[in-house]
Amino acid sequence: MELAVVAPESKTSTKKIDVSDRLLGCEFNEALVHQVIVAQLAGRRAGTSAQKTRAEVRGGGKKPWKQKGTGRARAGSTRGPLWTGGGVTFASSTRDYSQKVNKKMYRASMRVVLSELVRQERLIIVDKLELKEAKTKLMADFLKKLDVSRVLVVMDKLDEKIILASQNLPDVTVVMVKEVNPVFLVGCDHVVMTEAGIRALEEQWA
């Protein structure tokens, strides 16, 4: 598949590059992408929420008053759910939310999402991705020339200037090639990377 390499200054294509159809020529599989993304998001959950039931709360072993003769409702413990300091009715406990995703499924989901980005013209390959200074304005101007919103910038090599210049831009996420995953790709409107970036993805996922 051919992709155009764009020069941000002129918004024109400088050349065409050929990328493997195995990476960018896949049909969209919504069920697969959904399963992988749900699994990834589930894996981020801490699962540390924990409360105590009436059996786990300290105290309450002694009957608070005798069964009959007081005129009060009968009670066998001071740690029932209706009592202050009592246990929780349906207490939550720590759990592992992670879901298993096979490598084959994960790799396929990456190819499917990248292919869909190309079909929707949301994947932009630029001839260079660099700034003279680590200035937010320079990064904002660079992205404005590309006419992109909610953008994921994928770097093939670490560039502190781009990272620093993007920190105050709310709709810009900067990641390295090895950090790209379906959640990042689906969560943005546009993806910007260099030719070296798409080649690295091709080598990793095709």
Following DSSP, what letter does each residue of 25-74 receive, concatenated?
Answer: -PPP-HHHHHHHHHHHHHHT---------TTTSS---S-SS-SSSSSSPP
The domain that holds 18 is classified in CATH as 3.40.1370.10
91 neighbors 119 (Cβ within 8 angstroms): no
Q: State the Cα–Cα distance between residues 88 and 50, nearest whole angstrom.
A: 10
Same domain, 111 and 167: yes
Same domain, 166 and 188: yes
Same domain, 26 and 67: no
Q: State the Cα–Cα distance between residues 156 and 154, nearest whole angstrom.
A: 7
Number of domains comprising the chain: 2
85 neighbors 77 (Cβ within 8 angstroms): no
Would you put residue 28 in left (φ > 0), alpha (ψ -120 to 50) or beta? Answer: beta
Q: State the Cα–Cα distance between residues 87 and 118, nearest whole angstrom.
A: 55
144 neighbors 172 (Cβ within 8 angstroms): no
Beta strands 12-18 and 2-7: pairing type? antiparallel
Domain residues for the domain of 82 are 50-93
DSSP lists the bridge partners of residue 59 as none
The string of pLDDT tens digits covering residues 93-143 is 999 999 999 999 999 999 999 999 999 999 999 998 899 999 999 999 999
Same domain, 79 and 172: no
**Any residues with CB less than 8 A from the CB of 78 and at least 6 apart, and which?**
59, 60, 62, 64, 85, 86
Same domain, 146 and 59: no
Same domain, 56 and 106: no
The string of pLDDT tens digits covering residues 42-101 is 999 999 999 999 999 999 999 999 999 999 999 999 999 999 999 999 999 999 999 999
Q: State the Cα–Cα distance between residues 16 and 13, nearest whole angstrom.
A: 8
**Domain boundary at 61, 93, 125, which?**
93
Same domain, 141 and 64: no
Same domain, 12 and 54: no
Same domain, 29 and 69: no
**Domain boundary at 31, 64, 93, which?**
93
Please choose, from the candidates 133, 139, 194, 128, the residue with its C-alpha nearest in 3D space to the C-alpha of residue 169: 139
Please choose, from the candidates 193, 175, 161, the residue with its C-alpha nearest in 3D space to the C-alpha of residue 6: 193
Q: State the Cα–Cα distance between residues 26 and 189, nearest whole angstrom.
A: 19
Same domain, 74 and 174: no
Same domain, 19 and 73: no
% residues pLDDT > 70 (the chain): 100
The string of pLDDT tens digits covering residues 141-180 is 999 999 998 999 999 999 999 999 999 999 999 999 999 9
Q: State the Cα–Cα distance between residues 57 and 65, nearest whole angstrom.
A: 20
